[in-house]
Structure 1
Amino acid sequence: MATMIDRRGFIGGAAGLAAVATISDARAATDPLAAMIVVNALGGLDDPNQHGEGLVPGLSARVLREAHQSGVTAINVTLGYVSGPKEPFEYSVREIAQTDALVRLHDRDLLKILSAADIRRAKRDNRIGLIYGFQNGAMMGGDASRVDIFADLGVRIFQLTYNPANQLGDGSMAPENRGLTPFGREVIARLNARRVMVDLSHSGERTCLEAARVSTQPISINHTGCRAVTDLPRNKTDAELRLVAERGGFVGIYFMPFLDISGHAHAQDVVAHIDHAVNICGEDHVGIGTDGTVTQIDDLKVYESALAKEIAERRAAGISAAGERPDTYPFVIDLRGPDQFRKLARLLGEKGYSTTRIEKILGQNFLRYAETVWGA
């Protein structure tokens, strides 16, 4: 990136360092994110204008450029099996290997995150940190020792369920709300032992509450909304939010249609859900997990056609959630593109949030949680 080349060109003695400081100060004066660590606790690094197969990031020059422009420091990117006919274990291993290859190819722009220190390193080096995460535990099969394989491959976030039930527990759309299975408890114990984050996004309420209680490490809900604000199954109850926070965990608010009962969410809905979560959890336990990318959509009409097909496929596969429809976007209409984090920071400031609190929500709270689970 040009920014990296310019900085390297300045380095060379006291005069060069002074020039770098001057540029940094000037940037900080115009860009509220310049000095902040911004962590998207669930997001993407792909181009929504291209509708390819799979979840491995599509790293075009545009995607990388707009990711840098957005000010994001690190993103939890979903890899591996979520649904469909593919064999979950094999598919997940393959996607990790493919993403590793992409990180090596773009090592000036990307950094694979294995520790909290790596998030700081990504900020220092002006790189985008990729946190490898799963959104379904199906790749476990019936063997909890597979946690060790994935931990060794660099997976740092493990979401137990997607919307339906699986062998670990019930998802948010499973009507029985049965909670964790004995195997789910075994997997959580293994994840705790390997210091992998246990994520309860998409889970049923009982699954979440039981996981928070049995886990010896704090757990997270990396992308959700607040059910007290919008009563939909993908949003979390105050009981879930409160227990996760009381046990030292993290809650990320998404930029999704579930933030408004109409399905047409706006930036003020994001602020309202963040504000409620802060009131329930405290300002040290709330962040963002947008569940989206930062690359701008060029033509919404073209995008809508592809989205309608995707929604139909999700319904046919039994993995959709209440509140997602062909006429609802999987993003917040006025909080998207490379400027979304700056706009959110501005809206939170207008709400009366201090700079310190905004810094916590945009990244510091996730970083603290990462230090707790992964170590410094």
Structure 2
Amino acid sequence: MKLDRRNFMGVSAAMLAAGSARAAGVDADPIKDMIVINALGGLGDPNQPADSLVPQFSPRVLAEAHASGLTAVNITIGYVSGSADPFEQSVREVAETDAQVRANSRDLMKILTAADIRRAKAEGKVGLIYGFQNGAMMGQDASRVDIFANLGVRIFQLTYNPANQLGDGSMAPGNRGLTPFGREVVARCNAQRVMVDLSHSGEQTCLEAARISKQPISINHTGCRAVTNLPRNKTDAELKLVADRGGFIGIYFMPFLDMSGHARAEHVVAHIDHAVKLCGEDHVGIGTDGTVTQIDDLKAYEAVLAKEIAARQAAGISAKGERPDTYPFVVDLRGPDQFRKLIGLLRAKGYSTARIEKILGGNFLAYAQTIWGA
């Protein structure tokens, strides 16, 4: 891939970090041989406005994805909220994303199986896992799970923050759990061997899904409510049940990791550490809920963010803890070097290389193999 001067500068942070490591006499690139999987994230340029969730892969985005060491990422496509028809929008965005992957086949590949993730690593590509963050596109027809599974969607998150026809989200006041239709959709997901993701769900929805699912479920991007008591974070009961049944928990890099709303890298480590102690080292990973390309001008971004938060609040989809002064990322754990920084922090915490490799991607890969097959 050709890099112009701007794109070269965009990846220079990761390269400088590697050089500093060599000068210090330590492993020049601790991430080189790791499989790194972001269980929920993005692959786009947050400095460029976007009208849809369909990713746009600029040279900078692709260069920084490679420089970050990322092997695969669960990208959100399809309907989340708004006035569009959820089913039509979701079908269209699958097709549009497929076209983008074909156009950038030297750098990207669509992930359908665990073996595809390994192949992406071997071929030096970034794997894209197609995922939904709202089950609204199911309408009242559970057979739509079959349609989307056949189109290559591999992760079905049942609810966003509000309630939908499948169950209650984390901000739904009733905490009523799954609906009968939600149970039907879970069963259909099991039959199609796609992941059932309970991120954003209410507590009862998550607990019920974990209990009735014939396969392990996941919570691909969350925090721990025992550490920070906010609705978007999961209770110990949810985390423990999901892990005990063989599932996966991804910790995000979001403001909900600290009550101040200004989460930092130390808070990410604290939530990972709590989850590992509660669930065991074989069930915890990362789902940053962000990109590897960072915001260049934070001051200018604040005005954009204020409008976005206001729009989310007006639409009824925001979560407690979202404010115009809270960034939807961790300021000191972003950009193409974010995974290397996290490795360093976990090492400082006393985590072994083997445990770090599990958290950075090994645990998600093992879980994916259980659900999708080898």
Verify: 1:235 aligned to 2:236, yes or no. no
- Secondary structure in 2 matching 1:132: strand
1:100 matched to 2:98? The reply is yes
SS in 2 for 1:130: strand
2:333: which partner in 1? 335
Q: Indicate the residue corresponding to 1:143 in structure 2.
A: 141
Is the CA contact (8 Å cut-off) linking 1:51 and 1:306 kept in structure 2? no
Query: Are 1:360 and 2:358 matched, yes or no?
Result: yes
Cα deviation, 1:201-248, whole Å, max 9, x if unaligned, reads: 000000000000000000000000000000000000000000000000
Equivalent in 81, 84, 87 of residue 85 of structure 2: 87
Counting only pairs closer than 5 Å after superposition, residues 44-193 of structure 1 correspond to structure 2 as 44-193=42-191
**SS at structure 1 position matched to 2:57:** coil
Q: Confirm whether residue 199 of structure 1 aligns to residue 202 of structure 2.
A: no
Query: For 2:371, what is the secondary structure of its paired residue?
Result: helix
Matches within 5 A, 1:152-301: 152-301=150-299
C-alpha displacement of 1:29:
4.1
Identity %: 78
Cα distance in 1, alignment partners of residues 352 and 97 from structure 2: 37
Describe the superposition over 1:144-164 as per-residue Cα deviations: whole angstroms up to 9, x where unpaired. Answer: 000000000000000000000
Helix, strand or coil: the match of 1:30? coil
- Counterpart contact for 1:88–1:139, Cα < 8 Å: yes
1:96-150 CA-partner distances (Å, limit 9, x unpaired): 0000000000000000000000000000000000000000000000000000000
- Give the residue type in structure 2 aligned to 1:341: F
Residue identity in the other structure for 1:342: R
Q: Distance in 1 between matches of 2:90 and 2:126?
A: 22
Within 2, Cα distance between the matches of 1:319 and 1:354? 39
Alpha-carbon distance in 2 for matches of 1:133, 1:253: 17
- Aligned mates of 2:51, 2:307 — CA distance in 1: 13
Give the Cα–Cα distance (whole angstroms) in 1 for the partners of residues 202 and 337 of structure 2. Answer: 33
Select which of 339, 343, 346 maps to 1:345: 343
Tell me which residue corresponds to 1:30. 28
CA distance in 1, matches of 2:322, 2:51: 20
CA offset digits 1:322-342 (Å, max 9, x no partner): 001000000001000000000
Deviations 1:323-368 (A, max 9, x none): 0100000000100000000000000000000000000000000000
Distance in 2, Cα, partners of 1:296 & 1:135: 22
- Cα distance in 1, alignment partners of residues 296 and 370 from structure 2: 40
Deviations 1:173-206 (A, max 9, x none): 0010000000000000000000000000000000
Query: Number of residue pairs matched?
Result: 353
Moved over 3 A (4+): none
TM-aligned CA deviation for residue 298 of structure 1: 1.1
- 1:71-98 deviation line (CA, Å, top 9, x unaligned): 0000000000000001000000000000
Distance 1:69 1:48 in 2: 17
User: Partner residue of 2:323?
Assistant: 325
- CA distance in 2 between counterparts of 1:250 and 1:362 reads 12
| Root mean square deviation of aligned Cα | 1.1
One-letter code aligned to 2:75: V
SS at match of 2:256: helix
SS in 1 for 2:166: coil
Rounded to whole Å, the distance in 2 between the matches of 1:330 and 1:29 is 31
Match of 2:13 in 1: none
SS at match of 1:240: helix
Which residue is equivalent to 1:12? none
Once residues 263 and 347 of structure 1 are traced to their aligned partners in structure 2, the CA distance between those partners, rounded to angstroms, is 21
> TM-score w.r.t. structure 2 length?
0.93
Shift of 1:2: 6.9
Q: Distance in 2 between matches of 1:43 and 1:235?
A: 17
- Structure 2 distance, partners of 1:304, 1:108, is 35
User: Unmatched 5+ residue regions in structure 2?
Assistant: 4-21
Kindly provide the amino acid, as one letter, of the partner of residue 370 in structure 2. T
Q: Distance in 2 between matches of 1:91 and 1:316?
A: 21
Using the TM superposition, give the Cα deviation of residue 296 of structure 1 relative to its aligned residue in structure 2, in angstroms.
Answer: 2.1
Which deviates the most, 233-242 or 52-61? Answer: 52-61
